[in-house]
């Protein structure tokens, strides 16, 4: 099975000690977001976990001790660095600081295991197409030697974004095509493998590869391992990723990104943080008498030697 540590929250930036504790103790509990009284236990041991996938906007807090996980497990890192500033991503380090950390991550664990995520791509009166392309080129020039690939997606207009980010400009077909053409051209210039994420749009004419940012091919090539031929079901329309189990929790990420889909609102994450205990097997709180804990299925996708 694949463990995902960063789909619901930025565990690396805000809960790194908890994350390290869970791998040290060899198990984690994950509360079902739809049925809060149902909890699943996953064993965090190499013979039960094929690969651990990280996704964060700041690896600096965990870098000194990340080897405690990489020494035992196959791993892959998604590092999100966008064109936005504190007006959109208030809890995220600056572009330059983020690039420095990505380079250090790559040097420690290998470029083949690091993907740069430039997403979501969105437009406002300040973040124009031209600004995106100029910023993307500056970043691509710096990061090209240190990454396996670049992954981008266009913002999805969730209903709550109309409240949380009313300044958003709806992307037209022309906007997306112009951005894709520009991103593809810049990626080619610097030798960056670029692909989409979570979309059925075809931009292969611009040298952009199709979706699937967490496939068995990617994870296998990065770690020198082989997986069984298995269909990738994805988690939503346009997604071609392999199924994984997320051990985080919604409404806990304090990055405060205005476009965030995992938080109802930025304040909710700060309110929930008081329930966090780095020594608990759950990210938030503890197991209650009314909870039901079940053992999660952990079927391996690996081809065994």
Q: CB count, 10 Å around CB of 173? A: 8
Q: Degrees (nearest 5) of the Cα angle 239, 87, 165?
A: 55
Report the run of H or E that residue 55 belongs to, with start and end. strand 51-56
- Dump pLDDT digits (tens) for 277-289: 999 999 999 999 9
Residue 201: per-residue pLDDT: 86
Average pLDDT across each block of 10 residues of the chain; the chain has 305 residues. List them in order. Answer: 95 98 98 96 97 98 97 98 97 97 98 97 97 98 98 87 88 96 98 90 93 87 90 59 91 93 85 96 97 96 83
CA distance 203 to 210: 8
- Dump pLDDT digits (tens) for 213-267: 888 999 999 999 999 887 766 555 556 678 899 999 999 999 999 998 888 877 8
Closest CA to 60 of 100, 96, 89: 100
Using CB atoms within 10 Å of the CB of residue 4, give its burial: 0 to 12 exposed, 13 to 18 middle, 19+ buried. buried
Residue 229: per-residue pLDDT: 83
Sheet with 38-43, edge to edge strand ranges: 27-31, 38-43, 292-295
Residue 240: per-residue pLDDT: 67
Residue 43: per-residue pLDDT: 98
Using CB atoms within 10 Å of the CB of residue 161, give its burial: 0 to 12 exposed, 13 to 18 middle, 19+ buried. middle
CATH number of 2-286: 3.80.30
Residue 241: per-residue pLDDT: 75
Domains of the chain, by residue range, sit at 2-286
- The pTM score is 0.94
């Amino acid at each position: 099975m694949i463990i995902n540590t960063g789909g619901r929250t930025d565990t690396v930036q805000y809960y790194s000690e908890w994350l390290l504790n869970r791998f040290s103790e060899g198990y984690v509990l994950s509360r079902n977001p739809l049925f809060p009284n149902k909890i699943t236990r996953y064993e965090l041991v190499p013979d039960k976990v094929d690969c651990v996938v990280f996704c964060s906007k700041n690896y600096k807090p965990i870098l000194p001790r990340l080897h405690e996980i990489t020494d035992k497990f196959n791993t892959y890192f998604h590092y999100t660095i966008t064109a936005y500033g504190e007006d959109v991503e208030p809890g995220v380090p600056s572009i330059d600081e983020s690039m420095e950390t990505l380079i250090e991550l790559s040097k420690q664990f290998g470029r083949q295991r690091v993907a740069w995520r430039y997403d979501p791509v969105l437009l406002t009166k300040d973040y124009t197409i031209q600004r995106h392309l100029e910023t993307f080129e500056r970043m691509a020039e710096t990061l090209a030697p240190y990454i396996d690939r670049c992954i981008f997606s266009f913002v999805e207009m969730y209903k709550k974004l109309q409240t949380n980010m009313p300044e958003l400009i709806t992307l037209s077909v022309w906007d997306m095509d112009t951005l894709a053409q520009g991103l593809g051209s810049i990626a080619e210039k610097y030798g960056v493998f670029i692909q989409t994420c979570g979309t059925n749009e075809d931009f292969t004419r611009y040298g952009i590869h199709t979706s699937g940012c967490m496939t068995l091919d990617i994870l296998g090539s990065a770690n020198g391992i082989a997986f069984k031929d298995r269909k990738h079901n994805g988690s939503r329309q346009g997604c071609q990723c392999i199924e994984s189990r997320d051990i985080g929790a919604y409404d806990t990420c304090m990055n405060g990104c205005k476009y965030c889909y995992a938080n109802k609102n930025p304040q909710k994450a700060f309110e929930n943080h008081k329930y966090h205990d780095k020594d608990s097997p759950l990210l938030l709180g503890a197991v209650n008498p009314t909870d039901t804990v079940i053992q999660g299925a952990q079927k391996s996708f690996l081809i065994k030697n």
